[in-house]
Structure 1
Amino acid sequence: MTASLKNKLRRGISPVALAILMAVALVIWLLLGDTRSAKDTAPPPEEQAEEQMHEVETRWSQAQPLTREQVLQGQLLPWQQVQVMAQVSGRVAKLLKQQGDIISAGEPLLELSDEGRSQQLTQARAIYRLRQKELDGARKLRASNYVTENEIIRLEGEVARAQADLSAAQLAVEYNSPVAPFDGVVDRHHVEIGELVQPGAELMSLVNVSRLKATAQIPQQDAGRVAEGQAVKLRLLDGRELEGEVRFISLAADPQTRSFYVEAELANPELWRVAGGSATLRIQLPEVMAHQFSPALLRLGPDGNLGVHAVDEDGRVINYPVRVVAITNEGATVEGLPERLQVITQGAGFVDPGQQVRTEVVPEDETADAKASNEFQPGAAQSGPLPGQGAAE
């Protein structure tokens, strides 16, 4: 050996090179060990599937009967309202009824000056009797062929004309004293004694408020809930209440608002002065079976509709679509679910419909819904309008 080589051997291998050699050897050993372990100790397929199953927390939810209301903002109107108009010209001779007077159907309201209409009626009656006698005499002569058939026809036309003139004269005299078309109250009179009026002039305003009409617009998504005959409770602005029932629902929605016209009939035995004002209508809807739980359990299903995750009898996840009836401080009230189901209260955000899961059932008396609030994702639950929210509270 040369002197230089002998010197290198005496110095030995450097610490850096030794560290590199040891690291390479360790990596090779680990790779060989993992490969051999994977070949010799592969876990059974059953154990692998069990490790992939998610565990969720559930509780049983039982539906309870729920009385619902459809709340609408509406307007009160008189049951009947009419403007009495002048049919003939003349001066106001008498005001038989004053503002606030109670009236009956057919009762005279005022009198207009005659302006010769009574004389015209007397003349029309005389002419009619004359034409009728002429026709009767001609028919007797016709039996003896002294009068032609054409003459009979002419006289019948004269009688018809005289009868029409008589009817017009009778109406003109009746128009001298307009009468009430229904039972009610004189709300306003628009003329004074001695005032000259022409046909079409407003004379009096009559209303019937022994019953009232309440009108409102119902959103299209709630129109199917309301039916004729359903009970209605109406609350006035001052807190007083009236009761009645739905009597009409339009078949076509308003093209501007996409809402349906609803009309209710209400009794007003004390004749409260409320017609024309606004009020809140509470329509009593049929009782349904509904569940109540935390809004945190609501989530969007695969079809984009709001629903809730539950577990079926085979341990698979199902997303049931729901309709929200109300959301209060006590929780969300929903309908459309089975009468009894196993709701996922924790872990629903990590599983998909159809997936097999392991369940841990929480007793119904525990507040399991509170734990689910940690999973609540406002963006998912509120990405679309909640069906029915705010319609019935």
Structure 2
Amino acid sequence: MASLRNTFSRGISPVVLAILMAVILILWLLLGETRSARDEAPAAAMPVEQTLEEVETRWSQAEPMSREQVLQGQLLPWQQVQIMAQVSGRVETLFKQQGDRVSAGEPLLKLSDEGRSQLLAQARAMYRLRQKEVESARKLKVSNYVTETEVIRLEGELARAQADLSAAQLAVEYNQPVAPFDGIVDRHHVEVGELVQSGDAMMSLVNVQRLKANAQVPQQDVGRVAQGQPVKLQLLDGRELDGQVRFVSLAADPQTRSFYVEIEVANPDLWRVAGGSATLRIQLASVMAHRFSPALLRLGPDGKLGVRAVGEDGKVINYPVRVVSIAEDGATVEGLPERVQIITQGAGFVNPGQQVETELVQSPGNISDAAQSDTPPLQPSPGIGAAE
């Protein structure tokens, strides 16, 4: 190396010499590394330690919980009818005033006769005459003094006379309309001396000792409503009435896709609530359900509500659930096993089927406090919980 430097120093500049020396040094280092790699095996890569995701869990135990279907409905009288004039005449007497109680069959008012009684007497006389004619003809026929055709003709005249008599009797009865059921006179539409024609409204009669409430049940909830289920009705002023489901329609309304439901309601104090609105709470059969913070409810990729839990094998499970009721202090859901280990923290960072490490923070029992979650709680919506 020294002789080479002396040789080139006489005819080569110092800069070129430095460059040559650097190239020679690099080649020497590379050749040394290659020889070392052939003689020695490369060091084995250190294995990367795999760690499991840690989640916080609590045990939840299902308990029997009552359910209710909440609907908005309208209250109506149990019976309501307009007393209409069936004959023309002048109002002579009002037997019942507004607010009076009446019994079925009791007369409500009286119209002028307008000759209907005389027509009734005439119809009775004609009927008796036809009866005698038929009786005589039948006796004469036995002796062949009257033909069979004549007897048949007289029997037809008797039938016509009987029809005229029935019509005359009804016309006289229509002079005094009667109550078709036990109830209360709600309105007068005529006054004494007023002339009415057939078809005119004269009185309104209602029965409010019982009421009926009707509402519409969404098609997704109609399967939970059945005849005979108890119902609590809350009025706008806070008062409550008791009732039960009387009828659920078999076909949905084609416009709303909802089903008509009718509730029978007791009204022993005759509250003046008919025609108003009320909140209907249909008491459904109890279910085994869990109650915990609404923050633990999660929307899955399919848009359905679910709860993430840890199975016995330590893997994450997503359980689809149905909300029975939901409020700020807790959600009641069904669809979970009777006893389940629910993830209360870390559910947003794990996926179903993933192996996790759990940290139990509560002894077995129902989760009643509002757990803190890694995602904000879902806000109640019309599609969550009992139908409004």
Give me the TM-score of the superposition, normalised by structure 2: 0.86
% identical aligned pairs: 70
C-alpha distance in structure 2 between counterparts of 1:122 and 1:69, whole Å: 64
C-alpha distance in structure 2 between counterparts of 1:167 and 1:62, whole Å: 75
C-alpha distance in structure 2 between counterparts of 1:360 and 1:252, whole Å: 52
Q: Is the 8 A contact 2:316 2:354 kept in 1?
A: yes
- One-letter amino acid of the counterpart of residue 14, structure 2: K
SS at match of 2:221: helix
C-alpha distance in structure 2 between counterparts of 1:214 and 1:205, whole Å: 20
Cα offset, 1:174, TM superposition: 0.3
Larger-Rg structure = 2
Q: Is the 8 A contact 1:345 1:368 kept in 2?
A: no
C-alpha distance in structure 1 between counterparts of 2:368 and 2:43, whole Å: 43
Structure 1 unaligned regions, length at least 5: none
- One-letter amino acid of the counterpart of residue 332, structure 1: A
- 2:385 corresponds to which residue? 389
Residues 145 and 52 (structure 1), Cα distance of their counterparts in 2 relative to 1, 3 Å cut: farther
Q: Is the 8 A contact 2:233 2:280 kept in 1?
A: yes
Cα offset, 1:138, TM superposition: 1.0
Residues 20 and 145 (structure 1), Cα distance of their counterparts in 2 relative to 1, 3 Å cut: farther
Larger mean Cα displacement after TM superposition, 244-253 or 161-170:
244-253
C-alpha distance in structure 1 between counterparts of 2:29 and 2:143, whole Å: 148
1:190 and 2:196 aligned: no
1:164 and 2:144 aligned: no
C-alpha distance in structure 2 between counterparts of 1:218 and 1:333, whole Å: 21
Q: Is the 8 A contact 1:306 1:386 kept in 2?
A: no
SS at match of 1:337: coil
Q: Is the 8 A contact 1:61 1:343 kept in 2?
A: yes
- 1:37 corresponds to which residue? 43
Residues 351 and 94 (structure 1), Cα distance of their counterparts in 2 relative to 1, 3 Å cut: same
- One-letter amino acid of the counterpart of residue 387, structure 2: A
Cα offset, 1:22, TM superposition: 12
- One-letter amino acid of the counterpart of residue 342, structure 1: Q
- One-letter amino acid of the counterpart of residue 224, structure 1: G
- 2:3 corresponds to which residue? none
Cα offset, 1:272, TM superposition: 1.2
Residues 132 and 302 (structure 1), Cα distance of their counterparts in 2 relative to 1, 3 Å cut: same
- One-letter amino acid of the counterpart of residue 373, structure 2: S
Question: Which structure carries more helix by proportion?
Answer: 1
- One-letter amino acid of the counterpart of residue 163, structure 1: Q
- 1:215 corresponds to which residue? 214
- 1:136 corresponds to which residue? 135
- 2:358 corresponds to which residue? 359
Cα offset, 1:127, TM superposition: 0.6
C-alpha distance in structure 1 between counterparts of 2:8 and 2:42, whole Å: 47
> Per-residue CA shift, 1:332-371, capped at 9, x if unaligned?
2111111111222233223332333333333337989866
Q: Is the 8 A contact 1:291 1:335 kept in 2?
A: yes
Give me the TM-score of the superposition, normalised by structure 1: 0.85
SS at match of 1:285: strand
Q: Is the 8 A contact 1:214 1:266 kept in 2?
A: yes
The Cα RMSD (Å) is 3.6
- One-letter amino acid of the counterpart of residue 351, structure 2: D
C-alpha distance in structure 2 between counterparts of 1:93 and 1:314, whole Å: 90
Residues 24 and 103 (structure 1), Cα distance of their counterparts in 2 relative to 1, 3 Å cut: farther
- 2:373 corresponds to which residue? 373
- 1:154 corresponds to which residue? 153
C-alpha distance in structure 2 between counterparts of 1:36 and 1:2, whole Å: 41
Residues 313 and 148 (structure 1), Cα distance of their counterparts in 2 relative to 1, 3 Å cut: same
Cα offset, 1:167, TM superposition: 0.4
C-alpha distance in structure 1 between counterparts of 2:269 and 2:303, whole Å: 52
1:118 and 2:124 aligned: no
C-alpha distance in structure 2 between counterparts of 1:4 and 1:253, whole Å: 111
SS at match of 1:133: helix
Residues 131 and 10 (structure 1), Cα distance of their counterparts in 2 relative to 1, 3 Å cut: closer
Structure-to-structure mapping, 1:311-350, within 5 angstroms: 311-350=310-349
SS at match of 1:51: coil
Q: Is the 8 A contact 1:325 1:391 kept in 2?
A: no
- One-letter amino acid of the counterpart of residue 287, structure 1: S
